[in-house]
Amino acid sequence: MLISAAICTYERYDSLGRGLAALARQTLPPRHYEVIVIDNSPEAATSARYRRVVRRPRGLRWFHLPEPGLARARNLAVQQARAPLLAFIDDDAIAPPRWLAALLEGFAAFGEDVHMIGGPVRPRWATPRPAWLADGLLGYLSLIERGRRRRVLGPDEWVAGTNVAYRLERLRAAGGFATALGRIGPGVLLSNEETELARRMAAAGGRTGWVPKAAVRHCIDAARLDRSWFRRRAAWQAVSDFMQHPQHFTRDSAASWGEAERFLDYHCATNGVHALARDEQDAAMFHWQVSAIYHLTLCMLGGLHPPGIVTPP
């Protein structure tokens, strides 16, 4: 066995079925890879019922984990994987037939000092992409492109957990995923468990590779093509970033206040604070709004009193 493929899922059995069907069509011989499902849904009986109807891929291994948390689910996959490489793909993503083969080729080409690999995540829109969705917001949907050349990424370049693979021994040595980060059920949009792990692996001497041929399609459902979802997502991203670097964002919160203040100054004369919740039609203006929400959340977490405001005794 050469590589394990893991899907962590939460109450999305319809999309999970499509993802498993795609993994059953991989060009690798079945003996060279395994598929692991970590079902983080709360109902064990529902999980068991769905598991009984799944017929492919052959040799599928299924685990139910009732304690909520994507990072916990990923760590269970780390414990259970039996191959030297472990790839993660989201339950709403579709892998092409050569996905696992491309990841294997990438690790072989880069050598042992590359501990993790990522590839493109391209959209599969459930409904047409709205005009207000700027390119700069696509990262919130885990959509990523880093060019057509296979290469080692720089220290400030990240890969999406929707499509990432690790040398299992290095992943275990790094301590796995931080359970304080990452999604918790449907409502807590924490993230950064992959980037935080990548920093620890880099500190241990590991590098990250980019493999353009290891692309997947991410199904973007209509529920996420909603401006209120992006506003929530930006606020939770600020929380995730602050949890990783509280001292940095507390020390430098004046810069975040400046970013938020420019947006508020521009809008307050006509819309007041409601400008932060207005459904902007223009893509650039909506991008600015989402950015302001991100920076304002950082300010509040850092405890900044805006310049010129006197704190009451």
pLDDT recorded at residue 304? 67
Q: What is the dihedral of CA 224, 225, 226, 227, to 10 degrees?
A: 110
Cα–Cα dist 59/61, whole Å: 6
Q: H-type helices in the chain, by residue range?
A: 13-24, 44-53, 70-80, 99-110, 168-173, 193-203, 227-244, 246-251, 253-271, 283-302
pLDDT digits (tens, 9 = 90+) for 159-201: 999 999 999 999 999 999 999 999 987 778 999 999 999 999 9
Six token digits for residue 78 = 């780390």
Domain-wise residue ranges, the chain: 3-224, 227-302
Q: Which CATH architecture has domain 3-224?
A: Alpha-Beta Complex (3.90)
Six token digits for residue 252 = 């430098």
Residues of the chain with pLDDT below 50 are 310-313
Centre a 10 Å sphere on the Cβ of residue 65 and count the other Cβ atoms it contains.
18
Q: Classify strands 3-9 and 33-39 as parallel, antiparallel or unpaired.
A: parallel
pLDDT digits (tens, 9 = 90+) for 121-134: 999 999 999 999 99
pLDDT recorded at residue 18? 93
Cα–Cα dist 256/270, whole Å: 23
pLDDT digits (tens, 9 = 90+) for 145-157: 999 999 999 988 9
Count of residues making up the chain: 313
Q: Write a three-state SS string for 70-108.
A: HHHHHHHHHHHCCCCEEEEECCCEECCCCHHHHHHHHHH
pLDDT recorded at residue 268? 67
pLDDT recorded at residue 271? 67
Give the angle subtended at the CA of 147 by the CAs of 225 and 190, to the nearest 5°: 40
Q: In the sheet that 3-9 helps form, which strands lie side by side, from edge to edge?
A: 61-64, 33-39, 3-9, 85-89, 163-167, 114-118, 207-210, 151-152
CA dihedral for 104, 105, 111, 116, sign (positive or negative): negative
Six token digits for residue 46 = 């529902």
Cα–Cα dist 224/217, whole Å: 16
Residue 279 backbone dihedrals phi, psi, to 5 degrees: -80, 90
